[in-house]
Amino acid sequence: MTSFSLGEQLQDRFLERAACIGIIGQGYVGLPLALIFADAGLRVIGFDTDPVKVDCLNAGQSFIKHIGPERIRSGVDSGAYRATGAFDELEQCDAILICVPTPLGPHREPDNSFIHRTGREIAKRLRPGQLVVLESTTYPGTTTQELLPILQDGSGLIGGRDFFLAFSPEREDPGRGDYTTRTIPKIVGGIDETSTRVAVSMYSTAISKVVPVSSSAIAESAKLLENIFRSVNIALVNELKTVFDAMGIDVWEVIEAAKTKPFGYMPFYPGPGLGGHCIPLDPFFLSWKAAEHGRWARFVELAGEINTSMPEWVVGKTADALNDQGKSVKGSRILILGLAYKPNVDDDRESPSYELISALMKRGAIVDYCDPYFPRMARTRKWDFGLESVPCRNDIFRSYDAIVVATAHDEFKDQNLYRELRLVVDTRNILVPGRIPAETPWLVRA
Ligand SMILES: NC(=O)c1ccc[n+]([C@@H]2O[C@H](COP(=O)([O-])OP(=O)(O)OC[C@H]3O[C@@H](n4cnc5c(N)ncnc54)[C@H](O)[C@@H]3O)[C@@H](O)[C@H]2O)c1
């Protein structure tokens, strides 16, 4: 059978909702994706190497706060969705989507080993007429230069002829209300025209707008451009924060004023540093790959340098403010408000709060944290503080020498929480000017 007719057959299966979708990696990206395909009437199998996650999902439970367990339960109960660790079941799948982690190594080098391992698992079972799509964020060229050879060598099949292969970047933004996995437009770039067409028809079953591009490298690069754009603009406003601070100018008020311009300006906000799985890491995929081509991605490196220096800047401001009160950091009791990297989510990956805690502890402070989304601090790859959240109450806050607001959770917006405190260091502009209780004499923006 020609690749064209294999592709037509597969497209028909998607159109008739007769296809089975396999999604490898049931985390922040893979799970919501699985659920929208199940909602669209397709059969979905979620693959994960973590048996605890698999059991939890099959029992209809959620381990991600913004994904309600009722959505998982409805998928499991209707038979549309189930999770498994048995990779032999990949054979049943018409499409296989890869949503595994792509971390950076200790020297900020991309670690694509999860993609490679997954590729080898797929290759062992790959059969003619299947579609494979990589969704994990990576540098340009991964799909054709790394995944394609792994799939071909392990299966003896030829990509574009016997099976189809594409890249489609995930744009998941946990906790977002205005756009969902279904309504965020999805970019798709195949290794050839048929792969793109087949992948577009697969995503169109569940996603409102699918945007085909001419190659997998364009799709890989578009994802990096989006994240570098954010990283660079956040770095710009973080740097301006330090400049305006030295001039005695409030950067938050400057931004509010600038954003009244109806065109040519888009507000970005400063903070204690970058967090999340994407923005602190993904830009370095490009700078690493650029070096291979004899190029420097200077904006990426500079933005990284500025953004990663922010926790130290906040600690410096805290130390100065304590000093003004005749106190040292050493021995002071300091409370970090918020462990999550952004408001109202239970996601603490790469959160700058950990850097703040570590830097303050190194200077001898006695540090606690408060975050209703994290009653207990889990051990991460880098950190193991073993702390528990203190209650979010004014009488508790009052017992600290300093409160550092690191996350703008809604729970922290009650201005009464900040009554009669000794020192508040606000990195998120959460204390509303004019509404700050008069009894709070020490407010520092950082
Ligand atoms: N989290 C986001 O908001 C976001 C947004 C856009 C893109 N991404 C990208 O999507 C990819 C996945 O990120 P995530 O946030 O879903 O990660 P995650 O850590 O939440 O989930 C990954 C899942 O993959 C599983 N896993 C690891 N190795 C596996 C293997 N060999 N086989 C099967 N399962 C395996 C893990 O157990 C975990 O459940 C990354 O490349 C990330 O950069 C993430």
HEC secondary structure over 82-139:
EEECCHHHHHHCCEEEECCCCCECCCCCECCHHHHHHHHHHHHHCCCCCEEEECCCCC
Residue 303, CA distances (Å) to 15, 87, 233, 270, 387 in order: 44, 40, 8, 13, 31
Q: Would you state the structure tokens that stand for residue 4, as one six-digit string?
A: 């064209």
322 lines ligand 1 (CB under 6 A): no
Q: Would you state the structure tokens that stand for residue 243, as one six-digit string?
A: 């400049």
State the pairing for strand pair 210-212/131-134.
Answer: unpaired
136 lines ligand 1 (CB under 6 A): yes
Q: How many A from CA of 27 to the centre of ligand 1?
A: 5
What CA–CA distance (Å, rounded) separates 39 from 112? 31
Q: Would you state the structure tokens that stand for residue 126, as one six-digit string?
A: 């790959």
What CA–CA distance (Å, rounded) separates 273 from 342? 11
Residue 150: CB atoms within 10 A of its CB come to: 18
Q: Whose CA is nearest to atom 25 of ligand 1?
A: 25
- What Rg do the C-alpha atoms of the chain give, in angstroms? 24
**Which is the closest atom of ligand 1 to the Cα of 135?**
10
**Which is the closest atom of ligand 1 to the Cα of 50?**
37
DSSP states along 266-295: ------SS--SSSTTTTHHHHHHHHHHTT-
- State yes or no: is 278 an active-site residue: yes
Residue 320 pLDDT: 96
Residues of the chain with pLDDT under 70: 433-441
Q: How many A from CA of 402 to the centre of ligand 1?
A: 36
**Which is the closest atom of ligand 1 to the Cα of 281?**
43
53 lines ligand 1 (CB under 6 A): yes
Q: Whose CA is nearest to atom 24 of ligand 1?
A: 25
**Distance separating the N- and C-terminal Cα atoms of the chain:** 64
List 20, 278, 370, 392, catalytic entry: 278
347 lines ligand 1 (CB under 6 A): no
The helix/strand/coil state of 322 is helix
Q: How many A from CA of 204 to the centre of ligand 1?
A: 22
Residue 441 pLDDT: 60
DSSP 303: H
Q: How many A from CA of 136 to the centre of ligand 1?
A: 7
Q: How many A from CA of 102 to the centre of ligand 1?
A: 7
Which of 121, 277, 286 for mutating ligand 1's site (highest number of atoms within 8 Å of CB)?
Answer: 277
Residue that the structure tokens 């950990």 belong to:
354
What CA–CA distance (Å, rounded) separates 233 from 236? 5
What CA–CA distance (Å, rounded) separates 339 from 332? 20
117 lines ligand 1 (CB under 6 A): yes
Residue 206 pLDDT: 97
Residue 3 pLDDT: 77
